[in-house]
Amino acid sequence: MLSRAADGPDGPLTFIPGAYRERFLLPSDMVYLDGNSLGPLSHSARDAVADLASRQWGESLISSWNEHGWMEAPRRIGAKIAPLIGAQADEVVVCDSTSVNIFKLAAAALLARPGRTTVLSEPGNFPTDLYMIEGLKRLRPDLDLKLVPRDEIAAALDEDTALLLLTHVHYKTGEMFDMGVLTAATHKAGALTLWDLSHSVGAVPVSLNRTQADLAVGCGYKYLNGGPGAPAFLYVANRHQQGLTSPLSGWLGHESPFAFDDAYRPAEDIGRWRAGTPPMLSLAALEAGVGQFEGVDMQDLWDASQKLSQRFVERVTGQCAEVELISPSAPDARGCHVSFRFHSAYEVVQALIAEGIVGDFRAPDAMRFGFTPLYLSLEEVERAADRLVDILATGRWRQPEFAVRKGVT
């Protein structure tokens, strides 16, 4: 396991939960346990977007592409994300969405493993990961998307496997794969790994280089606090950078975009994974969000998160027998969120939100809560747990308005 013996949920903490609370514009009466889905707005992100719009776009207009470093933003921000995932600065670039990046990297990996026809994953993986491979199957009818339960994955790797595609921290249960063990097994079978780090980056320590991971993607709007629809990132290990090429060969991935050649030649470096023009307003917010992690050790942050989630779990399960923890009970076997099963999970989550405790519901019967120590204190987490227990004990969730389905989340 990755956690240090002395610094588990019961040990001393280096990062004090809630230490950066003042950096964020969170409503004072809200306990926000949904930063694993949409991170909150920081003062610096708000200011960065305002500056980009009014000073850069407003005053410098098109010269901003050079003057304000717009053209280099995808590489520059990728380099800032790299230390959070154990990668080199030149192995990460910010572009497109997580879904699109999965498509690009999976397609490239399949081309790099000719004769192999299987993408291996698990049932219940985040849907977009599976849907993207289904889409690829329409272009490559010989392709097989094989889904096997997580404890059978290593045994299912064989000479047909081209790619292992897994979400490192499961979006619903928070269960974490052992990246090193599975990457080694995948390589032994001659295949490549593609890790979805959407629920890992900014949440748990990740060691892409140390585990020899080949490829990875991840979201910018969850723990990185990059704002709604923030661009995603992708990682390609240096040793693969010449051998893999994006199937979405847009002009900004060209070796020399402003030569305006008819023929596509991919950039020599990680820039080849870019397709079109960088969304600068969104990138300004993301860069500020990533900036919050400067000087923060991911192990320290995860230790703090384990303390928060464990306190929540113990307080809820210790006082309430009706809910079932569907996340691993060992804090170092999970990411930064936990989920409980309850027959009326939707109603309970609505009742909590009405009282300022924001978690989310995941169909069909899961209540999910994220623990992000940058802005959450132990006191808030205890308060949230007690409120959940009370809502269950009093049956307040049975009020008819909480059964009304609204929106999508």
Report the alpha-carbon distance of residue 222 to residue 324 in Å, rounded: 25
For residue 337, list its beta bridge partners: 370
Give the footprint of ligand PLP on residues 172-211 (CB under 6 A): 196, 198-199
Within a 10 A sphere around the Cβ of 47, how many other Cβ atoms?
12
Cα distances (Å, whole numbers) of residue 4 to 11, 16, 122, 234, 378: 10, 17, 29, 28, 20
Is 268 exposed, middle or buried, given 0-12, 13-18 or 19+ CB atoms closer than 10 A?
A: exposed
Output 225 or 344, the one with its CB closest to ligand PLP: 225
At how many degrees (to 10) do helices 43-51 and 280-291 cross?
Answer: 150
x/- map, 213-242, ligand PLP, by CB under 6 A: ------x------------x----------
Residue 287: in which H helix or E strand, if any?
A: helix 280-291
Nearest C-alpha neighbor of 200 from the set 45, 81, 112, 119: 81
The Cα–Cα gap between 179 and 168 comes to: 7
Q: Is 99 in the site for ligand PLP (CB under 6 A)?
A: yes
Indicate the residue among 244 and 336 with the shorter CB distance to ligand 3DJ. Answer: 336
Q: Is 305 annotated as a binding residue?
A: no
Determine the Cα–Cα distance for residues 178 and 1; give it in Å rounded to an integer: 8
Count of residues interacting with ligand PLP (CB under 6 A) = 13
Cα distance between the two ends of the chain: 32
277 annotated ligand-binding residue: yes
297 is known as an active-site residue: no
Residues 19, 51, 89, 97: which binds ligand PLP (CB under 6 A)? Answer: 97
* Binding-site member from 171, 223, 375, 402 for ligand 3DJ (CB under 6 A): 171
222 catalytic? Reply is yes
- Which candidate in 222, 307, 315, 362 is catalytic? 222
Question: What residues from 100 to 139 belong to the interface with ligand PLP (CB under 6 A)?
Answer: 126, 128-129
Min dist CB 98 to ligand PLP, Å, is 4
Site string for ligand 3DJ, 33-52 (x = CB under 6 A): ----x---------------
Catalytic residues: 126, 196, 221-222, 368
- Residues making up the annotated binding site for pyridoxal 5'-phosphate are 98-99, 126-129, 167, 196, 199, 221, 251, 277
